[in-house]
Copies of this chain bind each other. A is one copy, B any other.
Amino acid sequence: MIKAQGYAAQNAQSGLAPFAFDRRDPGDHDVVIQILYCGVCHSDIHQVRGEWGNSTFPMVPGHEIVGRVTRKGKGVTKFREGDLVGVGCFVDSCRECGSCKEGTEQFCTGGMVLTYNGVERDGKTPTFGGYSDVIVTDENYVLRVPEGIDPAAAAPLLCAGITTYSPLRHWKVSPGQRVGVVGLGGLGHMGVKFAASFGAEVTVISTSARKEADARRLGASQFLVSSDPSAMAKAMGSFDFILDTVSAMHDVNALLGLLRRDGTIVLVGAPEKPLPIAAFGLVMGRKTLAGSLIGGIAETQEMLDYCGEKGITSDVEVIPMQQINEAYDRTVKGDVRYRFVIDMKSVSV
């Protein structure tokens, strides 16, 4: 295993080309994190393959990071060496705008710094992510990971977890509500776990019946096949809240029909093309279509603490780095239950 001490020099000598980017020496408020595990998010694949048109190379992907603090700047107060910590989708923000001050740094109007494929607040230094041995991050953007949970299975909480936890909390999903989760992938399976743990009656809404047993095992009490017109007709007007995790084009108007009066659909995936939305489907029943993006630092910490308390983690398949390309192909095909996580021990083998 690569040791984090002397990491910059060591990286330069390691011969592991993809990981040989210099990192900054830790500033006063930085912690140096030896990465143990990093989840594979579908967005990594889009970025690596240049599908979103904004990729910059060289790139080190990965924003579902769990590791241990190995060193810290002299001004660091929140963490000590040895602490189990996480880093999610962003590593800095302006800290001055309304969003930053209100704990929704993901909407920073001054410019959130993405964990990778981004630029530091100096406007030029590229950021590199979690498919690596080490990351250096300002302590204010580092999360505490509860010691009681499996660190590999905790990694996806930093993106898939908070992306689904945040809207369920923001729209106050509560016991007895009927909640639909559309799509049972990396995000959806976490949505089911959280919504069920909040006491909601959860239905997985999926194009095929294939995942029904899994849905029930994860906490769903019902399963609705969206390609079955009679099942859809029977379910009309019955949901308080629908969490829509699908990034491909799909029929949101049909989902609006599933809501009862004053119900809400929240999109956490973003299909590339605009979705055609019939205004009538919103007007009749005073329904809401909204969006949500990851979560702020405080809420991400709240989510991790909640997971520690309830024993909630992701269902993961741990892989060595050497299998990353195969993992990408399988992720694109939906052939993963439900998240690949890279074991960073593999990078020094």
Interface residues, chain A, CB within 8 Å of chain B?
98-99, 104, 107, 109, 170, 237, 253, 261, 267-271, 273-293
Contacts and interface: CB of A to CB of B under 8 A. Distances in A.
A119 B307 CA distance: 54
A268 B283 CA distance: 7
Contacts of A289: 277, 282, 288-290
Nearest to A167: B286
A245 to B, nearest CB: 12
Contacts of A287: 290-291
Contacts of A261: 98-99, 104, 107
Nearest to A277: B277
A267 B165 CA distance: 28
A261 B99 CA distance: 8
A170 B253 contact: no
A300 to B, nearest CB: 15
A271 B277 CA distance: 10
B253 A279 contact: no
B274 A109 contact: no
A100 to B, nearest CB: 11
A276 B277 CA distance: 6
A277 B256 CA distance: 14
B290 A288 contact: yes
17 contacts: A99-B261, A109-B237, A267-B279, A268-B283, A270-B279, A271-B279, A273-B276, A274-B277, A275-B277, A275-B279, A276-B277, A280-B291, A282-B291, A284-B291, A285-B291, A286-B290, A286-B291
A293 B288 contact: no
Contacts of A282: 267, 289-291
A260 to B, nearest CB: 8
Contacts of A237: 109
Contacts of A276: 273-277
A206 B88 CA distance: 42
B286 A292 contact: yes
A280 B293 CA distance: 9
A240 B136 CA distance: 37
Contacts of A280: 270, 291
B284 A267 contact: no
Given A104-B261, A253-B274, A291 B269 contact: no
